[in-house]
Chain A
């Protein structure tokens, strides 16, 4: 099983969410980037945009496919990783670190608790819940 940090929450669409005080940082999992292969293009929302849980907030394109990115929580985008459009390969190299995508101020903190735990996400992937 690929790397699944225990302190993060996960979606069934293979995004991770990390609580940082009253904010939530979002990216895609190591499994997702491995499935996609080399990422060649990343499209992110603007700072200030509103994102909605379980709806698309951006797009990632790899040599294999274009994939919509799902927001794990609803809220306002406070920061985006402005480096990614110029260096999309960072998503492959460091999906949980420098490959983060957006920082959100959640409008409903309870949504974070509804996401999968690391163990649940590992089980989901092991059962074939692939990308």
Chain B
């Protein structure tokens, strides 16, 4: 049994959350951090945009400010996501190398490895979730993440339940994704004014299992699923001193900066 770290952090603002994910990944790439599965939530609720996504009319920045919703640019690609508080959303993050997973370096194999665990955990909750091998609705990137299901992403009842994205450096990677526990439809429509019907293509655990599970319940189910599906042991831990220092640097120099939010920074 391989030991991985299980990291469950308190709800944080967007800049801190993205800095933690990147610090875990940079540490794993350097060999100073263990492979890690992290579960977390957002405080305040936050819209995250993809690394190369323009911050344009598709996300209503004024509405974000009015509603007290944070804004952050992710290190990963794809489209915008609204991360509600822990009562409606859980975000997972996996930082590892292809060797940690025991799969080849094929990009999609890492997605598949993680999706297998997620599907197992969601189904343990009763969600009837399934991995979509080839993706649906391919074409130009939509502005709203849950408008399209990519390869090895997860649906329930034909609608997207988990939206995931990845960053890579050689064979090390960071993958994170949003698991919808519930949804605030009014707020989604306010934040993504050009998305015709944000609810048309998404679903939630609340819909899939007939009640809304708690953040802690989903954390336990997904933790068990990673261990059972892949024969790893997730050992609860915290951030190391090096990781904490890197988080502070990344917030100050990158994720907390208005210029990085407005346009992607150079590496």
Chain A residues with CB under 8 Å of chain B are 12-13, 35-36, 40-41, 43, 45-46, 56-59, 61-68, 70, 128-131
Inter-chain contact A129/B105, CB cutoff 8 Å: yes
Chain A residue with Cβ nearest B104 = A128
B108 within 8 Å of A (CB atoms): yes
- Pairwise interchain contact B107-A130, C-beta atoms closer than 8 A: yes
Nearest CB to that of B29 among chain A residues?
A: A68
Q: Can you offer 30 A-B residue contacts whose CB atoms are under 8 A?
A: A13-B170, A35-B106, A35-B107, A36-B107, A40-B52, A40-B77, A40-B141, A41-B77, A58-B267, A59-B51, A61-B51, A63-B138, A63-B150, A64-B107, A64-B151, A65-B76, A65-B165, A65-B167, A66-B75, A66-B76, A66-B166, A66-B168, A68-B167, A68-B168, A68-B169, A70-B170, A128-B105, A130-B105, A130-B107, A130-B171
Chain A: minimal CB distance from B1 (Å): 23
Q: Which B residues between 46 and 91 are near A, CB-CB below 8 angstroms?
A: 50-52, 75-77
| B91-122 contacts to A (CB < 8 Å) | 98, 104-109, 111
Contacts of A62 in B (CB 8 A): 77
Known: A64-B166, A65-B168. 15 other contacts (CB 8 A): A40-B77, A43-B267, A58-B266, A59-B51, A59-B52, A61-B50, A62-B77, A63-B138, A65-B173, A66-B75, A66-B168, A68-B167, A70-B170, A130-B104, A131-B168
Interface residues of B, Cβ cutoff 8 Å to A: 50-52, 75-77, 98, 104-109, 111, 138, 141, 150-151, 165-171, 173, 264, 266-267
Complex contact A130–B98 (CB within 8 A): yes
B226 CB to nearest chain A CB (Å): 21
